[in-house]
């Protein structure tokens, strides 16, 4: 299974080679893997900001505990969940579903009404938590895609969401940063690449009932 081999190869890269850049072709494949991620109801209530601007990344670094990956990696992906979920979000999905599957929008009214009802049952805080969870599914797909392409990656939660929101203007976009992914190529000076991967044994993780 190639996936297992890929996952054994990858690690959370600590130091990147600033001279190497991810090709536009590989970046498009990572984007497509994110696009194809499973999401609750298929709504895809997230947006991924791809930060290449070095000035912006220098501003984000202090808000990220000073971690060098923020500025040194080839690309920085900021996964953001929607702050709110509205009827319009549901209708956008329903219209896309009707178009993609060549069915009448009217035939999906029951599905649309059910989804709108479930969204209204959630508090504002529950909606933010729910959409943030969706970004982690997309993050997982991105990590797997990077591993297959032999792109190094670093998933990062060590940042201040409020500072990110201010720097990137996320509130105006109705978004909230939940997790960050640096991608690029490891530096030869990154000693952690030679460290043995630490994982619990299978029997400590799985219980068959």
Per residue in 121-162, pLDDT tens?
A: 999 999 999 999 999 999 999 999 999 999 999 999 999 999
Sign of CA dihedral 122, 126, 127, 132: negative
| Separation of alpha carbons 51 and 30, rounded Å | 14
Query: Residue 196: left (phi > 0), alpha (psi -120 to 50), or beta?
Result: beta
Confidence of residue 31 (pLDDT cuts 50, 70, 90): very high
Q: Burial letters for 140-179: b for 16+ Cβ neighbours within 10 Å, e otherwise?
A: ebbbbbbbbbebbbbbbeebebeebbebbebeeeebbbbb
- Which ranges constitute the DSSP H helices of the chain? 2-9, 24-35, 54-60, 69-72, 87-101, 109-120, 124-149, 161-168, 202-205
| Separation of alpha carbons 189 and 139, rounded Å | 26
Mean pLDDT of the chain: 97
Question: pLDDT at position 1, please?
Answer: 85
Question: pLDDT at position 145, please?
Answer: 98
Question: pLDDT at position 69, please?
Answer: 98
Of all residues in the chain, what percent carry a pLDDT higher than 90? 100
Question: pLDDT at position 105, please?
Answer: 97
Collapsing DSSP to helix, strand or coil, 36 comes out as coil
Contact 25, 165 (CB under 8 A): no
Chain length of the chain: 209
Chain centroid to CA 60: 17
Q: How far apart are the first and last CA of the chain?
A: 26
């Amino acid at each position: 299974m190639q996936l297992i081999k890929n996952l054994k190869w990858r690690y959370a890269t600590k130091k990147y080679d600033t001279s190497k850049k991810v090709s536009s072709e590989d970046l498009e494949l990572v984007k497509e893997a994110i696009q194809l991620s499973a999401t609750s109801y298929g709504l895809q209530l997230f947006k991924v900001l791809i930060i290449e601007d070095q000035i912006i990344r220098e501003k984000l670094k202090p808000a990220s505990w000073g971690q060098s990956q923020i500025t040194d990696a080839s690309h920085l992906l900021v996964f953001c969940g929607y702050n709110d979920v509205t009827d319009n979000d549901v209708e956008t999905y329903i219209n896309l579903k009707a178009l993609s599957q060549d069915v009448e929008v009217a035939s999906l009214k029951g599905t649309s009404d059910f989804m709108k009802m479930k969204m209204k049952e959630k508090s504002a805080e529950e909606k933010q938590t729910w959409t943030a969870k969706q970004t982690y599914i997309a993050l997982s797909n991105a990590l797997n895609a990077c591993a297959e392409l032999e792109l190094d990656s670093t998933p990062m939660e060590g940042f201040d969401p409020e500072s990110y929101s201010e720097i990137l203007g996320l509130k105006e976009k109705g978004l909230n940063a939940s997790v960050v992914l640096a991608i690029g190529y490891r530096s030869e000076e990154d000693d952690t690449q030679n460290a043995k991967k630490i994982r619990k044994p299978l029997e400590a993780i799985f219980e068959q009932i």
